Amino acid sequence: RLRSAGRLGPSESTHMSEATYVVFVPKPMRGKLRNVLQSEDMGPMRWREHRGLRGSEFYFTGPPGLARRTHAYVMNWVAGIAPLSA
């Protein structure tokens, strides 16, 4: 939930319609993640990649719960905890 002191007043809240999470993926792993993301139907999720010298930042934007779960899954894959299927 977002709290806003703007137009809504300090005690009113609104739900976020989408959220963006970012994951750093090391250079040796980014190609595989990119290939999987390009081959999958992501539904309401959108992703983009910002390439750097040592790796890429992958931005996942969509419904907050889905974006959070996608972020957690990719973080676990980078850490070697979860498999990534193509």
In the predicted model, is pLDDT for residue 5 greater than 60? no
In angstroms, rounded to a whole number, what is the distance separating the alpha carbons of residues 77 and 86?
13
Compute CA 9 distance to the chain's CA centroid, rounded to the nearest angstrom: 30
Question: What is the full DSSP assignment across 20-78?
Answer: EEEEEEEHHHHHHHHHHHHHS--TT-EEEEEE-SSEEEEEEEESHHHHHHHHHHHHHHH
pLDDT digits (tens, 9 = 90+) for 67-85: 999 999 999 999 998 788 7
- How confident is the model at residue 82, as a pLDDT? 79
pLDDT digits (tens, 9 = 90+) for 12-59: 556 779 999 999 999 999 999 999 999 999 899 999 999 999 999 999
